Amino acid sequence: MSEELQTLQTLVRRLDEGAGRDAVRALDRDDLDCWDYQEVAGLARQLSAGLMESGVSRGERVVLFAPNSAEWVIACLAILDAGAVVTPLDTQMPRAELIHALGDSGAHRVFTAGEAARRLEGLELDHPLETVRLDEPAGTGQSWRDWLREPTDAAQPEVTPDDQATLFYTSGTTGMPKGVPLTHGNITANLNALLGQELAHRDDRIFVPLPYHHVYPFTLGLITPLALGASIVLPYSVLGPQIVRALREGDATIILGVPRLYEALDAAIRGRIAERGARAERLFEGMLWISRGARHRLGWPLGRRLFRGLHQRMAPSVRMVVAGGAPLSPAIGERLRDLGWEVATGYGLTETSPILTYNPPDRLRLEAAGLPLPGVDLRIDSVEPGARTGEVLARGDNVFQGYWQLPEKSAEVFTEDGFYRTGDLGWFDEDGYLHLEGRASEMIVLGGGENIDPERVESALIGAEAIRDAGVLEHDGRLAAVLFADPQAIRDLDDEQVRQRLNQALHEAAGVLPSHHQISIYRISSDPLPRTRLGKLRRHKLRELFEALGDGAATAETGPIPEERMAVEDQQLLQIPTARRVWDGLVHRYPRVRLTPDTNLRLDLGLDSLGWVDLTLELRSSVGVALEEEALGRIETVRDLLREAAEAAQFKPDGARGRGLVEQLRDPEAMLSDQQQRWMAPRTRFERWLGAICFGIDQVLFRMYARVHVEGREHLPDREPVLLVPNHLSALDPPALGSVMPYARITRVRWGGWTGLLFSNRWVRVISRACLVLPIDPHTGPRGSLALGAKALQDGYGLVWFPEGRRSPDGTLQPFQPGVGLLLQAQPVPAIPVSIEGTDQAMPIGKRFPRPGRITIRIGAPVTAETLDAEGEGETRELRIASALQDRVRQLGRAEPGAREGK
């Protein structure tokens, strides 16, 4: 494909020249699917024939509204081959903007898939859309494969360079998105100039984590690789583990990304090094220093050798990283080079197809936007006569002719001699490199005449601790900002404390900014700021948000955050079907809670102890997601949960939460790890002797320090298996309950004990085993913990299980978790409700030693699971059993004192 291309239709018809080579390497959840050039070319031509047979005409706009996939690529190529216009839309485009773009384009057909297809349902459009699914199998009537036809000799439309090839819609940073039509000649002009620079080669495999609805990945990550005969690598998702997996399994050699990707990569590497301690950090910085010195002074690329282990673990074959869409921080770029990667950057706009300047690795100047691409004519329209800085103007075959159906707007952006006004301010250095200084339209002019680049101020603010995001604007002649605080940094702070923390952060940022760049007024947003998919701030939305917030602190809202107000990365996360189903499940479960990706499951939603069991069972049954137990230890926020769910094993939901686990708990030994099985083994003679001593100490303790009164001791069987279900007020509850049991009973009772307290060190573990305590780790292994309890009951032991999952912070009875219901279904032994009073006074939470006091224990009558099921309330049997037990324990606590037996 060395001959210069005049149209993209010609590209499609040359694709089969790459027969035997992979055109696309697409990863799904489990596998790597490879599509060679001959297959892609054949399917594209067949789909093109099907489109023309169905009446798709030359110049007709056909929408692509789906995430990246091999099928997306084939559909795009088919549309181009048919002479129609590819109209790719952002799958995360806000509803109003989506309706506008669909109507403005005049499209009647749309290729879609997944979550994007769901979003199309119910849209109020002026004309109906015919949808074609890219994710449906053949034969469904909606699948793209049902449109395949064998190409015929009938005349096909031959497009010219002047024919429209694509219709992109801008990201809408300043209003409703505008249509940007690009001709075949526009795109091929940019393509041929890029190919002439020989930055990539036929043997390259280009990793594309960016959505094809944007012209940057469309041209550089789709059209350019196919014109080269190279391979495209598409990840399953843009989550960190999936990116690394795609780089490794796809054997990528070039990464096509945006600065936010490389910032995240740099932060992840530094975070991993920091976990290893200060010595490792010093060693890492020293290696970076050596790599940089060798490269600058001697021209030796040592980075790849020095950081060989990092390359092998993450991206063994990657040699170059390309950054576009926004300026790459010079500091990040230098570190990437120090680590052993070549770095290439560029500058352009949708209207310029897109590249205007490029920064090749061998002549890289990270502080500059780069050199003009061959065929591109750039000049500076100075603001003042003789001034070096001015608006960047562009002319060339790659520059579009005007906006779609906006003649007045089109006239505004061209000079009389045909130069396009980019809206960016810049200047050229003596070597011809373009340097940018912000957007002319976004430059803020204060009352004193000072010119402020808002992106410079925003960068400094975001770099300050406690500020997650910031947007800067002018308000009443002063510099103002909307701040989104880091939720973790301000947790549990009131409004005044939040403002103090942010004032401190602003003071920190002021140290790196000129005096006239200081923020005079700010308002606090409780949600992320509105940004585009490539991370650009939607400034018209920022102004609306600033006005809506008023002068007060952020107003506390209830209910789940609207998706369009989430951060871009979180919106992308919800494009993964399993993550979407989990989010929808949480929204249904917590309709009145302020649910956001930053919501802490334990602190904000109260999920503790066996509450994890309830959540994981619900995900398993209603969503079809099976979280591994070790994953629970990594989950703190909703975002963590969504990421883990996106990576977790999937199966068809059975709609009967807990049913599968009940069956497993009937054979609990199969669920136990080797360590858990050793814990369940009979005690040694020494352990039995130590347990007897502990029982004696327990008896003495409750004679000396606390008077224990017990009611209903006759309900305790001597040795039969039984499940005792007490409320939980204090760490003193288990020994207090044990002190009222006869020795014959205490030797046949196992206790559920929290690993954080009763298994914290070797000696405590020895005592816990001697006293028949089971290691319950509710956050990392709820299924294993339940299996331990079920095994104890199956072995004929009694079991003391605290179904609240934690000690009550205020003495009130907490909701019973469904794990107790699962145990009673799997091992149908009698349940005995127990009410404990006074232990919270004798030994409050946080105290290490008891103090004298009065303790009352009431033991209820045994009850079967069937009776509890009939009494309780809830959607499932385990919930009904748990709720009935909670009611019985509550009633015991309200009982009038009767005949009590003192000890």
Would you state the pLDDT for residue 535?
73
pLDDT at 631: 67
Report pLDDT digits (tens) over 192-226: 999 999 999 999 999 999 999 999 999 999 999 99
Determine the average pLDDT of the residues in 523-551. Answer: 81
* Mean pLDDT value of segment 289-294: 94
The CATH number that applies at residue 851 is: 3.40.1130.10
Residue 714 amino acid letter: E
Does a structural domain hold residue 410? Answer: no
Domain that holds residue 515: 444-564
Cα 484 from chain centre? 18
Structure tokens at 580: 């979407």
Distance CA 460, CA 464 (A): 7
Residue 459 domain flag = yes
Here the tokens at position 64 are 């692509």
Q: Looking at the predicted structure, is the pLDDT value of residue 351 above 90?
A: yes
Of 633, 657, 681, which residue is a domain's last? 657
Tokens of 496: 């005044």
Q: What's the CA gap between 647 and 625, in Å, rounded?
A: 9
Whether 186 is in a domain gets the answer yes
Domains contained in the chain, number: 4
Is the pLDDT higher at 557 or at 466?
Answer: 466
Q: Which tokens is 878 given?
A: 């385990």
Tokens representing residue 168 in the block:
């992109």
Going by pLDDT thresholds of 50, 70 and 90, the confidence category of residue 74 is very high
- Per the CB < 8 A criterion, the answer to whether 85 and 179 are in contact is no
Residues 44 and 168 in one domain: yes
Residue 850 has a pLDDT of 72
Mean pLDDT of the chain: 86
Residue 791, domain member (yes or no): yes
d(CA 808, CA 516): 53
pLDDT at 895: 58
Decide: 777 and 785 in contact? Cβ < 8 Å: yes
Q: Could you report the per-residue pLDDT of 85-110, keeping only the tens digit for each?
A: 999 999 988 888 999 999 999 999 99
pTM beyond 0.85: no
Residue 106's alpha-carbon distances to 88, 100, 502, 769, in angstroms, are 13, 10, 47, 73
Nearest Cα residue to 208 out of 307, 328, 73: 73
How far is residue 501's CA from residue 494's CA, in Å, rounded to a whole number?
11
Residues 798 and 684 in one domain: yes
| pLDDT digits 0-9 by tens, 597-612 | 988 887 677 665 455 6
Q: What is the pLDDT of residue 658?
A: 45
The dihedral formed by the CA atoms of 90, 91, 93 and 99, expressed in degrees to the nearest 10: 100
The whole-angstrom separation of Cα 95 and Cα 93 is 6
- 747 and 673, same structural domain? yes
Decide which of 657, 688, 705 is a domain's last residue: 657
Q: Does residue 668 sit in the same domain as residue 598?
A: no
Please check the confidence at residue 321 and state whether its pLDDT lies above 90.
yes
Higher pLDDT, 5 or 842: 5
For tokens 């970076």, the residue is 288
Decide: helix, strand or coil at residue 319: coil
- Using DSSP's 3-state secondary structure scheme, residue 482 falls into strand
pLDDT at 548 over 60: yes
| Pair 123, 190 in one domain | yes
Residues contacting 772, CB < 8 A, separation 6+: 683, 691, 747, 749, 750, 751, 797
CA 528 to CA 532: how far, in whole Å? 12
pLDDT attached to residue 383:
66
- 453 lies in a domain? yes
The CATH number that applies at residue 613 is 1.10.1200.10
The yes-or-no verdict on residue 902 having pLDDT over 50 is no
pLDDT at 634: 77
What pLDDT is recorded for position 412? 93
Q: Residue 191 pLDDT more than 90?
A: yes
Query: 569 lies in a domain?
Result: no
- Same domain, yes or no: 796 and 843: yes
Query: Residue 145 falls within a domain, yes or no?
Result: yes
Q: What pLDDT was estimated at residue 809? A: 76
Q: Are residues 450 and 500 in the same domain?
A: yes
Residues 35 and 178 in one domain: yes
Could you tell me the pLDDT band of residue 903, with boundaries at 50, 70 and 90? Answer: very low
Pair 645, 748 in one domain: no
Residues 602 and 668 reside in one and the same domain? no
| Residue 618 pLDDT grade (very low, low, confident, very high; cuts 50, 70, 90) | low
Q: Are residues 650 and 693 in the same domain?
A: no
pLDDT value at 72 more than 90: yes
- State the CATH number of the domain containing residue 499: 3.30.300.30
Give the pLDDT band of residue 23 (cuts 50, 70, 90).
Answer: very high
Q: Percentage of the chain surpassing pLDDT 90?
A: 44
Could you tell me if residue 834 is inside a domain?
A: yes
pLDDT at 899: 37
CA nearest to 718, candidates 697, 692, 746, 738: 746
For residue 505, the model assigns a pLDDT of 86
| pLDDT higher than threshold 70 for residue 759 | no
| 538 and 644 assigned to the same domain | no
Last residue of a domain, one of 208, 230, 257: 257
Q: Quote the pLDDT of residue 551.
A: 53
Under a CB-based contact definition with an 8 Å cutoff, are residues 734 and 772 in contact? Answer: no
First to last CA, the chain: 94
Q: Mind giving me the DSSP string for 64-116?
A: EES-S-HHHHHHHHHHHHTT-EEEE--TT--HHHHHHHHHHHT--EEEE-HHH
Q: How sure is the predictor about 900, in pLDDT bands with cuts at 50, 70 and 90?
A: very low
List, for residues 247-279, the tens digit of each pLDDT value: 999 999 999 999 989 988 998 898 889 888 899
Q: What is the DSSP letter of 648?
A: S
